Chains A and B, each alone.
Chain A
Amino acid sequence: MRRERTPAPLLVPAALAVAFLVLPLAGLLVRTPWSQLGTLLTAPGVGQALRLSVVSATLATLVSVVLGVPLAWVLARSRARGRAVLRALVTVPLVLPPVVGGVALFLVLGRQGIVGSWLAETTGITIPFTTAAVVIAETFVAMPFLVISVEGALRGADVRFEDAAATLGADRWTTFRRVTLPLVAPGVAAGAVLCWARALGEFGATITFAGNFPGTTQTMPLAVYLALQRDPQAAIVLSLVLLVVSVATLLLLRDRWLGRGAAA
């Protein structure tokens, strides 16, 4: 990639954008009660909520990759009609208030829901108020980020490589696996990171569909919200933990995945 000096007209808005995005974080840092940090961090439940957050966000990302990449391919490459409508439909969770998303999940997967009631009758399994419900809520809200980003990468990828593979006798599945997927890997990685970050911070759909119970469904954002009702200082510390964990993870992954993509 070519490195250039930033054109002057871009400098001021870019600096404003940085200030706008970073100052609230700085505010959080300034208000952090550093002297009580130890006590607040070792409070029971903090580690538990953090672990649950990371595990469920990771699972939600895995599900999103497995289901979302094929969907992105369909949106970008298939010649099926109604793709525009389909694209609009699958990105609805992006604009839906998450709490409404949670209620919608109840209506489908709740024990009174269309699928959920059948599931409860035939297998005795109910989904709400379980860790599975947390993963489902997070996947619902976060998968569109992955789909949009992979679809963009697919549209940007050079089709001639795929054509060449086909000419050389590769079937369509092999072409997808050996040519298309490596080509859009940076896009998949970027989408997965976005998806993971969104899942980690998910609040509305989770507290509605999965409820809030320590150890089972109480993720960090839920713990932060409840701490805010009782002890704003503790809430700031909890937010800070979530922030540090997410930034550290994203930096680590960036070096590992995106480093290669950025160099290519």
Chain B
Amino acid sequence: MRSGRILAGLATLAVVVAGCGGGDDDAAASTAAASASGPTGTVTVFAAASLTDVFTDLGQRLEEEHDGLTVQFNFAGSSALATQLTQGAPADVFASANGTQMAVVTDAGLAEGEPAVFTANVLQIAVPAGNPAGVTGLADFGREDLTVAVCAPDVPCGAASADVFAAAGVTPRPDTLEEDVRAALTKVELGEVDAALVYTTDVVAAGDAVEGIAVPEAEDAVNDYPLCTLAAAPNPEGARAFVDLVRSEEGQQALGAAGFRAP
């Protein structure tokens, strides 16, 4: 997270230096050149931490497509990113893990146009490989004889879990309320809990040590991810190119492979 911030800072510096160095003629010339050969320069993308792998990959693909284009990322919790943006951090694109933090940015009048939901994440039951306790669904979280973990209600995945349990009419009997979703997943990976409620993308990222069980009731608490270009974007053309790639067939396939689902 910290290195992300440093990168964003460097990106800002690069933009500022470029802005100072070029006169009007240069700017006009570079615009003309850019429109001829697509976007150039640096695109700065502020994105939710859960998008790290997919967006890094998509950024590389965009750089390969366009000569002279660099994509810089600042990955962090959505609320931290929204705070940075309202405090004046210069960025071209903002991708949030929920509507609440996107609203913080749109309410401040920082977004260019309407944000679009580009993907979604749902909760899933994670069980150790082989599912030793034979967990089949949410109802198993109410069983006394199983050891289960859910996120603490104080953290976002815990709030979502509470909604899902309420929708299912299940009263969970957790043995531990985890401080974040990754900690819950670690306990599944070690085989120390029989099941935990985590995000689908976490199950995919955990690989073979963990199996996922879809939860129909989770459909009531789908986490939508909106993204927008920013009104003050230093590189609007690059911003549009990145957003287009994310929303393209190619971008949606990459998101799908990581466990995200179509909006």
Q: Tell whether, in the assembled complex, residue B179 and residue A212 are in contact, meaning their CB atoms are under 8 Å apart.
A: yes
Secondary structure class of chain A's binding surface, majority of residues: loop
Query: Min CB distance, B146 to chain A, in Å?
Result: 12
Query: Which one, A48-56, A142-150, A223-231, A244-252, is touching chain B?
Result: A223-231
Q: Tell whether, in the assembled complex, residue B177 and residue A212 are in contact, meaning their CB atoms are under 8 Å apart.
A: yes
A-B contact pairs, 21 of them (CB 8 A): A103-B186, A103-B190, A110-B190, A110-B191, A111-B192, A126-B147, A129-B175, A129-B176, A208-B183, A208-B186, A211-B187, A212-B152, A212-B177, A213-B176, A214-B177, A217-B176, A225-B179, A226-B154, A226-B155, A229-B154, A229-B179
Query: Min CB distance, A16 to chain B, in Å?
Result: 28
Query: Min CB distance, A29 to chain B, in Å?
Result: 24
Q: Give B93-133 interface residues, CB cut-off 8 Å to A.
A: none
Q: Which residues of B contact A (CB under 8 A)?
A: 147, 149, 152, 154-155, 174-179, 183, 186-187, 190-192
Q: Decide: A129 near B147, CB < 8 A? Known: A103-B190, A207-B179, A213-B177.
A: yes
Question: In whole angstroms, how far apart are the Cα atoms of A225 and B179 in the complex?
Answer: 8
A128 at the interface (CB under 8 A from B): yes
Query: Min CB distance, B156 to chain A, in Å?
Result: 9
Q: Tell whether, in the assembled complex, residue A106 and residue B192 are in contact, meaning their CB atoms are under 8 Å apart.
A: yes
Q: Tell whether, in the assembled complex, residue A213 and residue B191 are in contact, meaning their CB atoms are under 8 Å apart.
A: no
The listed residue with most B CB atoms (<10 A of its CB), out of A110, A211, A213, is A211
User: Which residues in B have their C-beta under 8 angstroms from that of A214?
Assistant: 177
User: Which residues in A have their C-beta under 8 angstroms from that of B149?
Assistant: 211
A174 at the interface (CB under 8 A from B): no
User: Which residues in B have their C-beta under 8 angstroms from that of A225?
Assistant: 179
Question: In whole angstroms, how far apart are the Cα atoms of A251 and B183 in the complex?
Answer: 37
Question: In whole angstroms, how far apart are the Cα atoms of A218 and B174 in the complex?
Answer: 13
User: Which residues in B have their C-beta under 8 angstroms from that of A218?
Assistant: 177
User: Which residues in A have their C-beta under 8 angstroms from that of B183?
Assistant: 207-208
Can you name the residue of chain B whose Cβ is closest to the Cβ of A107? B190
Q: Decide: A226 near B152, CB < 8 A? Known: A126-B147, A212-B178.
A: yes
User: Which residues in B have their C-beta under 8 angstroms from that of A213?
Assistant: 174-177
Can you name the residue of chain A whose Cβ is closest to the Cβ of B178? A212
Q: Tell whether, in the assembled complex, residue A230 and residue B154 are in contact, meaning their CB atoms are under 8 Å apart.
A: yes
Can you name the residue of chain B whose Cβ is closest to the Cβ of A128? B192
User: Which residues in A have their C-beta under 8 angstroms from that of B187?
Assistant: 211
Q: Give A195-216 interface residues, CB cut-off 8 Å to B.
A: 207-208, 210-214
Count A/B pairs, Cβ under 8 Å: 56
User: Which residues in A have their C-beta under 8 angstroms from that of B176?
Assistant: 129, 210-213, 217
Question: In whole angstroms, how far apart are the Cα atoms of A112 and B155 in the complex?
Answer: 28
User: Which residues in A have their C-beta under 8 angstroms from that of B178?
Assistant: 211-212
Question: In whole angstroms, how far apart are the Cα atoms of A212 and B147 in the complex?
Answer: 13
User: Which residues in A have their C-beta under 8 angstroms from that of B155?
Assistant: 226, 229
User: Which residues in A have their C-beta under 8 angstroms from that of B154?
Assistant: 226-227, 229-230
Q: Tell whether, in the assembled complex, residue A112 and residue B175 are in contact, meaning their CB atoms are under 8 Å apart.
A: no
Question: In whole angstroms, how far apart are the Cα atoms of A225 and B192 in the complex?
Answer: 22
Contact of B191 among A112, A226, A227 (CB under 8 A): A112
Question: In whole angstroms, how far apart are the Cα atoms of A215 and B191 in the complex?
Answer: 24
Can you name the residue of chain A whose Cβ is closest to the Cβ of B187? A211
Question: In whole angstroms, how far apart are the Cα atoms of A227 and B152 in the complex?
Answer: 10
Question: In whole angstroms, how far apart are the Cα atoms of A222 and B187 in the complex?
Answer: 17
Q: Tell whether, in the assembled complex, residue A226 and residue B192 are in contact, meaning their CB atoms are under 8 Å apart.
A: no
Q: Decide: A112 near B190, CB < 8 A? Known: A226-B152, A226-B179, A229-B155.
A: yes
Contact with B along A98-136 (1 / 0, CB 8 A): 000001001100111000000000000010110000000
Question: In whole angstroms, how far apart are the Cα atoms of A212 and B152 in the complex?
Answer: 8
Question: In whole angstroms, how far apart are the Cα atoms of A230 and B152 in the complex?
Answer: 11
Q: Tell whether, in the assembled complex, residue A211 and residue B175 are in contact, meaning their CB atoms are under 8 Å apart.
A: yes
User: Which residues in A have their C-beta under 8 angstroms from that of B191?
Assistant: 110-112
User: Which residues in B have their C-beta under 8 angstroms from that of A212?
Assistant: 152, 176-179
Given contacts A217-B176, A222-B179, 5 further A-B contacts (CB under 8 A): A207-B179, A207-B183, A210-B176, A225-B179, A229-B154
User: Which residues in B have their C-beta under 8 angstroms from that of A112?
Assistant: 190-192
The listed residue with most B CB atoms (<10 A of its CB), out of A129, A210, A213, A218, is A129
Question: In whole angstroms, how far apart are the Cα atoms of A212 and B183 in the complex?
Answer: 11
User: Which residues in B have their C-beta under 8 angstroms from that of A126?
Assistant: 147
The listed residue with most B CB atoms (<10 A of its CB), out of A110, A126, A212, is A212
